[in-house]
Structure 1
C-alpha cells in the first residue's frame, strides 16, 4: 500500500525543482491522442520522442493521455510546449502530491487519485489534468488502463463527449474516477465483514495486524475523499466558470452529491475499523476468561481431593481407616464420586 509522504530528495531543493518521487518504472512513456469534434474523430498512439506541437493548431478538441510521468525530460518538454510553469510540473511528477486544483488563468491544473483493487489490495495512482483551451492533457502514474469506458464513449458517434468538447470530457473522467470509489467502498465493507466473522468464529492473534492494516487503508481513503470533496466545491460554485461555463454546473452538483455519499460511507467504514479493534480485544479477554474459568474449575475440583490426600497423609499412629485392607480403593472411589458430583453441579449451573 502506498503511503503519501514527502520525498526526502525534495528536502532543501528550491521551489520548482522537478523530481519524480515515485517507484522506479521500467516502461517507456506512451501517448494516446484523441482528436475529435461533433463529426470528426481521430486516434493516434505516439511515443514521447515524437513532435506533438501540431495539436496546438489543429482546430479540434484534443485529449492527450500520457501514461507515465517518470521521464523528467519529457515532462519539461510538455511544459515548454504549453507554457506550464515549473511549480505545476513539480506537482505533476510528485506522485505523493495530495489532491488539489489550481487556476493559472490560461490553464487549469488538477491532481486526483484513482483508486483500484489489484490482487485484493488497494492500489493508488495519481492522475493529473491540464486543461488548456481546446486541449486536455491527462497524466497517469503508471501504464495500466483506467479510462477504457471513457475511450469507448469517445469513439461512439454523436456521443455527449464529442458534442461538448474537452470540458465535458474532463467532467466525464473525474466522474469515472469517483465511480471507482464506490467499488472500493464495497471492497472495504466485505473485508470488514470477513474480518469480523473470522475474529468471532476462528480467533487468531495474527488478525490484529490485518485490522491495523485495514484501519490505515481506510484512513488514507478518507483523507483522499475529503480532499476530493473540498476541491469539487469549486466546480459548481462559479470559481471555474471560465473553463466549464454554466452548462456543466448541474453535472458537477451531481458529482458533489456522489462524493458526499462516498465520504459518509468512508466514515462508517472507519468506524467499523475501530469496532473491529474492540471486537478483537474483547475476544482476547473472553479467551483469557475461558482459560481462567477452566483452570478455576480444575482447581476447585482438586480442593476436596487435596483435603483427602492431606488428611490421610498425616502421620498419626491411630487412624483406623489405614488398617482397612480396601481403604486405598475406598478412598479412590470417594474421590471419583466427588469429581462426578462437582462436574454435574457445574454443568447445571452452566459454569462449564
Structure 2
C-alpha cells in the first residue's frame, strides 16, 4: 500500500519578516514512495479511556494497562475504547487482539493520510482530520483521528491526548435513556463523526471573522503588512479546504456500504452528516472566493492610492510649468532684453507669476481636478 510521507523544508529566514503572526513557515513536499513506512514518533503520553455501557448503565474507566482493554472484545455490553497518544507497539497489540487488518493498522500509524473509509472483514474503518483553530497564531491545527467499528465495540485512535471534541458524546453516554446508550455501535460511530464535522463549522466561523477583519484592514491600511496577512489567511483557507474535502467521500462510503454493522435505520443519520460536510465544502469555497476578492480589493486600493499620488504630482507639475517657462526666459543672459532695464521688473515678474498661479489653481478647482 502506498503511503504519503511529508518532508519539511524550512523557508529562508528573510521571509519571516512578512509573517504578521510570527509563525514559522514551512514548505511541505509530498511524494509517494513505492513502499510506505510509518514514520510517526511514539507519543510521550498515552491515555486509554473506556465507556462500557448498555441501555441501563454506563461506566467510564481510565485503564492503567493496555492488557485491560482486551476483555472488552468478549464483553456483553457495548464499549467505546478511546486511545489518546499513539505508540506503534500499543496499536499493534490492540489491532492484533481485536482482529483488525494490518492495512488498517498501517493507516492508523501513518502521517498525513487523506480522509477515507474502508470495510475489511468484519470491521469498518474510517480516518479523518479533527480541526482546531489556534486563536493566538490564527492558524488551523489538525489532528488525525481513526475509528474502528466492530459488532460490540468502537475503538478511536487520537494523536493528541490533551484535547478533542468528544465531550458532548461523553456527556450523552452518561444520560439514562439517551439515543447513544440505546443505539448500536454504528450509531456511536455516527455520533463521533457528527461532532467532528460540527467542529469544522466552528473553525469556519473563526476564518470568516478573520476575513471580515481583513476587509476593514484593506480599506484603511493597504500596505505590505496587510498583503502578507491576506496571503497568510488565504493559505489557512486552502489548508482547511484540502483537509475537509475528502470527508465527503468518507461519508458517501458509509451511505453506500452494505455491511451488516450498519443498520438501515441509522443510514438517515449518516445522510445528515453527509449534508453537513457538503455545506462545509460550499462555505469553504465561498470563503476562498471572499479572500480572493479581498486580495483584489487590496490591489484596487493600492492602484487608487497610486492614482491619487500621480494626480497630485501631475497637478503640481502643470502648475509649475508656466512659472518655469517664465523663469527660464528671463534667466537668459541677453544684453538686448528690454525688461532687464525696468526698474521694478523683478517684482512685476514675480507678481505676474503669482497671479498666473492663482488663476490656474482656480481653474483646476472649478474643474474638480483636486
TM-based fold match above 0.5: yes
Partner of 1:253: 271
CA distance in 2, matches of 1:326, 1:46: 106
1:326 aligns with 2:344: yes
SS in 2 for 1:234: helix
- Cα gap change, 1:6 to 1:48, in 2 (>3 Å): farther
SS of structure 2 residue aligned to 1:33? strand
* Structure 1: runs of 5 or more not aligned: none
SS of the residue 2:265 aligns to: coil
Q: Secondary structure at the match of 2:187?
A: helix
Matched, 1:56 2:73: yes
Give 1:332 shift. 2.6
Q: CA deviation at 1:240?
A: 4.1
Where do residues 1-352 of structure 1 align in structure 2 (5 Å cutoff)?
6-8=5-7, 14-15=35-36, 17-20=37-40, 27-47=44-64, 49-69=66-86, 71-119=87-135, 120-143=138-161, 144-237=163-256, 239-352=257-370
Q: Distance in 2 between matches of 1:48 and 1:336?
A: 95
Shift of 1:136: 0.5
Q: Within 2, Cα distance between the matches of 1:225 and 1:145?
A: 17
If the length of structure 2 is used for normalisation, what is the TM-score? Answer: 0.86
Residue 122 of structure 2 contacts residue 150 of structure 2 at CA under 8 Å; is this kept in 1? yes
- Give the drift of 1:102: 0.6
- RMSD between superposed Cα atoms in Å: 2.3
Q: Deviations over 1:135-186 (max 9, x none)?
A: 1111112121321111111111111100003221111111111111222222
**Secondary structure at the residue paired with 2:369?**
coil
Q: 1:250 to 1:49 in 2, by over 3 A?
A: closer
CA deviations on 1:271-301 (whole Å, 9 max, x unpaired) are 1122122112222222222222121111111
Q: Could you tell me which runs of 5 or more consecutive residues in structure 2 were left unpaired when the two chains were aligned.
A: 9-30
1:256, CA displacement in angstroms? 1.7
TM-score calculated relative to the size of structure 1: 0.90
Is the 1:95–1:141 contact (alpha carbons within 8 Å) kept by the matching residues of 2? no
Summarize the Cα distance change of 1:186–1:12 in structure 2 as closer, same or farther, 3 Å threshold.
closer
Give distance in 2, aligned partners of 1:205 and 1:250. Answer: 50
Asked if 2 retains the 8 angstrom alpha-carbon contact of 1:18 and 1:86, the reply is no
> 1:242 aligns to what SS in structure 2?
coil
CA–CA separation in structure 1 for the residues paired with 2:5 and 2:35 = 14
Q: By how many angstroms is 1:12 displaced?
A: 5.2
Once the two structures are TM-superposed, the CA of residue 103 in structure 1 deviates from its matched residue by 0.3
Once the two structures are superposed, residues 214-236 of structure 1 have per-residue CA deviations (whole angstroms, 9 ceiling, x without a partner) of 22222222233321112212222
CA distance in 2, matches of 1:165, 1:82: 18
